Amino acid sequence: MFNGFMEKLVAGRWIAGPTVDDAIERGKRFNKLGIGAILNYLGEALTDQKDIGDAMEAYREILKKVTKGDPLTQISVKPTQIGLSVSLDLAKKNFAEIVRSAGEKGIFIWVDMEESNLVDQTINLYESQLPNENIGLCVQAYLKRSIDDVKRLTEKGGTVRLVKGAYTEPETIAYKSKQDIDKNYVEIMQYLFDNAKRFMVASHDDKIIEKAREINKEKKKEVWYAMLNGIRNQYLIKLQQEGEKVFSYIPFGKKWIQYSVRRMQEAGHISLLMKSILHGQKI
Ligand SMILES: Cc1cc2nc3c(=O)[nH]c(=O)nc-3n(C[C@H](O)[C@H](O)[C@H](O)COP(=O)(O)OP(=O)(O)OC[C@H]3O[C@@H](n4cnc5c(N)ncnc54)[C@H](O)[C@@H]3O)c2cc1C
């Protein structure tokens, strides 16, 4: 668990704690409610061999501790924490190791998507392990290129986790207004409903989630819904109770500041931030 006041107040809402055991323990609390856990070790843009080694060790430890075939535990890795900031080859080597161990345990592995200058390499990294039904890649709806990426990934049998996107990107390559991002999100989602076997809607946006559920009454696809831990836990529980397959994305580790700043920026206005802090969303 976190010790400092700020850590407890801010990071404690969204982050399980510094250790793998904290992450597993938080995941189990969701699992008891029938909600899956996507565990993610904090840290990005790592270039130091020791830091990259620590990230790899965290994932090895989860894969050692998780029960074989557990459908309620998944892992999400950031390319730049497993070596992409050093070289694509290093990231590929480390990703191959994680995918191999996860395959032995029957655990699903996601690849997070980071800044736009990393998208090509990240797709390359992900595709280096295809075909494989137990790996998926995050795609950001704010990027204008994403519909083409999703088409190509779907044709290759990849699994997509669709998000709006969390970084600041230039207008030349990204939609900037909520309206345009949402429109592109829904278009890509519709493509996935028409063409993919299974995908993940990763959003807290009830308008988008309810639209997906409406479309799926007819399409009957395997759709997973996911939200970040501590943002709208109660909504996640409601979706689970209504029969949806849902996951909570649970970051853990000591590097909590960058992640927490992104979540605060996204809340956009103080009322949304207070909502997620006060309406406890505690599990
Ligand atoms: C599982 C998961 C994995 C992700 N992985 C990545 C990744 O790999 N790369 C990446 O770039 N981004 C990732 N993201 C972050 C994502 O890109 C967005 O930045 C983030 O999800 C906010 O977008 P939104 O879809 O929730 O919509 P927003 O437009 O931010 O919010 C839409 C609406 O949701 C509701 N809402 C949002 N927050 C709250 C709240 N606190 N309380 C009540 N209502 C609220 C409000 O009605 C709001 O208007 C991930 C998100 C999730 C959920």
DSSP string spanning 135-147? EEEEEETTBTTHH
| pLDDT (tens digit per residue) in 6-20 | 666 666 778 898 899
Give the Å distance between the CA of 31 and the centre of ligand 1: 21
Q: Is the pLDDT of residue 61 over 60?
A: yes
| pLDDT (tens digit per residue) in 173-223 | 999 999 999 999 999 999 999 999 999 999 999 999 999 999 999 999 999
Q: Who lines ligand 1 at CB under 6 A?
A: 112-113, 138, 140, 163-167, 178, 202-206, 226-228, 231-232, 249, 266-267, 272, 275-276
DSSP string spanning 78-137? -GGGTTTTT-HHHHHHHHHHHHHHHHHHT-EEEE----GGGHHHHHHHHHTT-S-TTEEE
Task: Give the burial class of 241: count Cβ atoms within 10 A of its Cβ; 0-12 exposed, 13-18 middle, 19 or more buried.
Answer: exposed
**Mutation choice for ligand 1 from 159, 205, 276, CB with most ligand atoms inside 8 A:** 205
| pLDDT (tens digit per residue) in 94-105 | 999 999 999 999
Q: How many CB atoms lie within 10 A of CB 104?
A: 9
Q: What is the CATH number of domain 5-278?
A: 3.20.20.220
Give the Å distance between the CA of 232 and the centre of ligand 1: 10
**How far is Cα of residue 230 from the mean position of the Cα atoms in its chain?**
14
Q: Is the pLDDT of residue 283 over 80?
A: no
Q: Is the pLDDT of residue 1 over 60?
A: no
Three-state DSSP state, 246 = strand
